[in-house]
Copies of this chain bind each other. A is one copy, B any other.
């Protein structure tokens, strides 16, 4: 980059040279501060070091671009001019905050330093300027504490302990009791502590302080919790963060000062009412940290919550009105619900941040639909506003109103949804138990960024302290995890691993039910009911259906799943896994008999027993799906998967089948494979034992005849051959199926209508798609297996190193969750192109789990597939994602 490259952008100074569109360069916070400054809103002036500084920093072994220092110097000068204060000046000192601000919001993940510029000299100037020496000294001690922690790497607790000692010595209970002299004495002890631990004095030079803070914030981009958060939120490390240096304003300058956070609409329900919290005489961090319980913004909210402390509307009516005007202005300007941070310094309102507000799925839905109705955004825009994955929250059960329940605690309805699980008290334990298959509820006094992994693992989160914008609440909403925060009656004893509430003791491992929508916690498990798919939800789905061109099918085989998927709008079955039908006990016995058969004759005897069962399986599906297409995959997994594993199992099978234990063990050994994933499975079984596929084809065709006779509707059967690697395999097996079809046609005296296609799930199949399409009327991409073979990566084994791979940036995302467009996707593209060359009207779909992943769906839309197929509960998500993909594609052209 050239010597004149611009690394620093200013806002609220003489020239604001950024705007909201420059998010990638200035980060969300910086871009929006610039935008607000340009809108004439009261923004404390400052400047932004761009995300390019961050990426350059990491690309050059953590060193800054040469020209950065000079640009910071210039902007600092301009900031002094704008504020009419001087950085480090004894009488009129400029104080600044240094905050990270990435492209995507990462609340609490990176470091912040406030009150920077204070030292033994400037603190006196601040005392005189503010007329409040105690405030100035309190600010200084806060700065020392924060700076020592964030920049110098000292523990927070060391300082907290010193403060506690000072309070104890003076017999104080709260911080507010501390006098100016008390703070001054405390500061001396703070500085001693720094000297003792680091062997040098706390830095007094404001410039040194500034550069220390800048580096600490840039470094924090790579701290562990930021890395974990990015992984969970799919944020690439390569984006980098910007850093904002902004003139300080103080919400803690007495009772005419305050600080608060607000949403222009209710982020939980989406209601069009202001929503927020504020604290009088406090700094911003006090609200977010959840240490003091904040007051409501509006009278309406206060009444609803049953609070007695006055709302801001009552306590500061003038500033409240000013704030409400800002809300209206911002929402109209941004055309979206805003999440705002503000400070009132001695009656003057300052805007510290605005951004699109995080919201629950329910709120996102309502806000999008409402704003479209209000004419603020178009239908297409509304559709793009709802994150498809978030719908998951709306599709799951809620508590049955009529179910008996044992209420033990009530807190704030911090994140909606209901969940049942066993109580755990540490995030590590939550993660470990969840990995072992337990459903856990994380119960904490409060959460911190260090708890991210446990929060992610938990079914729900309960905290004893903190408001609706506390860490727990914000993160839980982002994750779509139910959360009750500030359940004040809950007293947790981490030592005994239990909590007490109203005289009852709840122990680790006890089952509780959490209802995040009502803020209630129940002992034991409470019955749930299915969600209703109406109102805003069905409006959104209708818009999505209108927009999308991709068909949406489902992967299902049980009547329950098929019904669910159809209810969610599935337009067909994209993958019916016939082998899943055999895990039920009686069937499994026949299936095992088939596997254990010595030769063709024995196998046919067993298959004859399976035939009527399988026929009825298919008939049940056909009855539900009517004239919608059903893709039925013939037997796929290695046979040994069905063999008994444990000794008891083996004995039972031996008794049931009459095959000796020894023979059973031998057969199992014979079927054992070194790499079953790459073994004798899929169509390879069909080639070796065509009688199995013949039986399944017969079951399909006979079921078709049966259901057509019963219902008068002709079922649409698509017979799918798995794991093909060459055209010849398909050709041979197609003949087997066609022969059966002819036979059934003769027996039933009616035409058997079906198509035959194949899974494309091996690299060779993708490469040979032109040949294979000669025999296939459809392709269904099995992207799970295609990912395994393309990467040479077993999904069963990758757990050991895949997390390392994601954290080291080798893979941006888990390729089993979101399709690897560059590699696996390249093969999909090749197959689409080559398949259509041979057969222009070939039907192309995907039935891997990627079919339910929005990012993957967008890729499938763009490469021109005809449909995606996903699990039943993901059908609405896929509908929305497909709609969004179509809109975005249209917008690009």
Seen from chain A, the residues whose Cβ lies within 8 Å of a Cβ on chain B are 673-680, 684, 687-688, 723, 725-726, 728-729, 732, 761-764, 767-768, 785, 788-794, 796-798, 800-801, 804-805, 808-811, 820, 822-824, 826-827
Report if A792-B785 is in contact (Cβ < 8 Å); known contacts: A768-B822, A804-B688, A820-B764. yes
Residue in B676, B790, B791, B823 whose CB lies within 8 Å of A674: B676
CA–CA, A205 and B826, complex, Å: 65
| List of B residues within 8 angstroms of A762 by Cβ | 790-792
Contact, CB under 8 Å: B810 / A732: yes
| List of B residues within 8 angstroms of A820 by Cβ | 764
Contact, CB under 8 Å: A801 / B687: yes
List 7 additional contacts besides A678-B678, A732-B808; criterion CB under 8 Å: A674-B677, A678-B794, A687-B805, A687-B808, A726-B810, A763-B823, A764-B820
Cβ of A774 to closest chain B Cβ, rounded Å? 14
A-B pairs with lowest CB-CB distance, top 4: A678-B794, A675-B794, A764-B823, A679-B797
Q: Provide 5 A-B residue pairs closer than 8 Å at the C-beta atoms, listed in order of the A residue.
A: A674-B676, A679-B794, A687-B804, A726-B810, A768-B822
CA–CA, A684 and B790, complex, Å: 15
Cβ of A786 to closest chain B Cβ, rounded Å? 9
CA–CA, A678 and B794, complex, Å: 5
Contact, CB under 8 Å: B764 / A791: yes
Q: Which residue on chain B has the smallest CB distance to residue A823? A: B764
Cβ of A509 to closest chain B Cβ, rounded Å? 26
Q: Which residue on chain B has the smallest CB distance to residue A820? A: B764
Contact, CB under 8 Å: B767 / A674: no
| List of B residues within 8 angstroms of A800 by Cβ | 679-680, 688
Q: Which residue on chain B has the smallest CB distance to residue A675? A: B794
| List of B residues within 8 angstroms of A809 by Cβ | 728
CA–CA, A6 and B827, complex, Å: 45
Residue in B680, B728, B761, B767 whose CB lies within 8 Å of A826: B767
Contact, CB under 8 Å: B791 / A790: no
| List of B residues within 8 angstroms of A725 by Cβ | 791-793, 823
Among A673, A723, A732, A767, the most chain B Cβ lie within 10 Å of the Cβ of A767
Among A723, A788, A793, the most chain B Cβ lie within 10 Å of the Cβ of A793
CA–CA, A675 and B793, complex, Å: 9
| List of B residues within 8 angstroms of A789 by Cβ | 678, 763, 789-790, 792
CA–CA, A732 and B793, complex, Å: 19
Cβ of A373 to closest chain B Cβ, rounded Å? 47
| List of B residues within 8 angstroms of A804 by Cβ | 687-688
CA–CA, A794 and B762, complex, Å: 13
Contact, CB under 8 Å: A792 / B732: no
Contact, CB under 8 Å: B792 / A723: yes
| List of B residues within 8 angstroms of A684 by Cβ | 801
Contact, CB under 8 Å: B764 / A797: no
Cβ of A613 to closest chain B Cβ, rounded Å? 27
| List of B residues within 8 angstroms of A823 by Cβ | 725-726, 763-764, 767-768
CA–CA, A811 and B676, complex, Å: 21
Q: Which residue on chain B has the smallest CB distance to residue A731? A: B810
Cβ of A173 to closest chain B Cβ, rounded Å? 47
Contact, CB under 8 Å: A675 / B797: yes
Among A763, A789, A792, A808, the most chain B Cβ lie within 10 Å of the Cβ of A792
Contact, CB under 8 Å: A767 / B675: no
Residue in B678, B797, B805, B810 whose CB lies within 8 Å of A673: B797
| List of B residues within 8 angstroms of A761 by Cβ | 792
Q: Which residue on chain B has the smallest CB distance to residue A682? A: B792
Residue in B674, B732, B801 whose CB lies within 8 Å of A796: B674
| List of B residues within 8 angstroms of A723 by Cβ | 792
Contact, CB under 8 Å: B673 / A794: yes
| List of B residues within 8 angstroms of A810 by Cβ | 687, 726, 728-729, 732
CA–CA, A135 and B618, complex, Å: 71
CA–CA, A792 and B761, complex, Å: 9
Q: Which residue on chain B has the smallest CB distance to residue A725? A: B791
Cβ of A294 to closest chain B Cβ, rounded Å? 45
| List of B residues within 8 angstroms of A763 by Cβ | 763, 789-790, 792, 823, 827
Cβ of A291 to closest chain B Cβ, rounded Å? 39
Cβ of A236 to closest chain B Cβ, rounded Å? 12
Contact, CB under 8 Å: A688 / B767: no
Among A729, A764, A794, A824, the most chain B Cβ lie within 10 Å of the Cβ of A764
Among A674, A675, A687, A791, the most chain B Cβ lie within 10 Å of the Cβ of A675
CA–CA, A811 and B732, complex, Å: 13
Contact, CB under 8 Å: A793 / B678: yes
CA–CA, A791 and B789, complex, Å: 8
CA–CA, A673 and B673, complex, Å: 12
CA–CA, A189 and B191, complex, Å: 124
Residue in B726, B793, B805, B808 whose CB lies within 8 Å of A811: B726
Contact, CB under 8 Å: B764 / A688: no
Contact, CB under 8 Å: A797 / B680: yes
CA–CA, A790 and B767, complex, Å: 9
CA–CA, A823 and B768, complex, Å: 7
CA–CA, A294 and B638, complex, Å: 56
| List of B residues within 8 angstroms of A767 by Cβ | 790, 822-823, 826-827
| List of B residues within 8 angstroms of A732 by Cβ | 808, 810
Q: Which residue on chain B has the smallest CB distance to residue A729? A: B810
| List of B residues within 8 angstroms of A673 by Cβ | 794, 796-797
CA–CA, A785 and B790, complex, Å: 11
Cβ of A263 to closest chain B Cβ, rounded Å? 39
| List of B residues within 8 angstroms of A728 by Cβ | 808-810
| List of B residues within 8 angstroms of A794 by Cβ | 673-675, 677-679
CA–CA, A750 and B675, complex, Å: 46
Cβ of A442 to closest chain B Cβ, rounded Å? 28
CA–CA, A798 and B638, complex, Å: 13
| List of B residues within 8 angstroms of A793 by Cβ | 678, 725
Cβ of A772 to closest chain B Cβ, rounded Å? 11
CA–CA, A635 and B687, complex, Å: 37
Cβ of A50 to closest chain B Cβ, rounded Å? 25
Cβ of A600 to closest chain B Cβ, rounded Å? 14
CA–CA, A777 and B823, complex, Å: 21
CA–CA, A762 and B763, complex, Å: 10
Cβ of A58 to closest chain B Cβ, rounded Å? 14
Contact, CB under 8 Å: A677 / B680: no
Contact, CB under 8 Å: A792 / B811: no
| List of B residues within 8 angstroms of A675 by Cβ | 675-678, 794, 796-797
Cβ of A293 to closest chain B Cβ, rounded Å? 45
Q: Which residue on chain B has the smallest CB distance to residue A810? A: B728
| List of B residues within 8 angstroms of A726 by Cβ | 810-811, 823
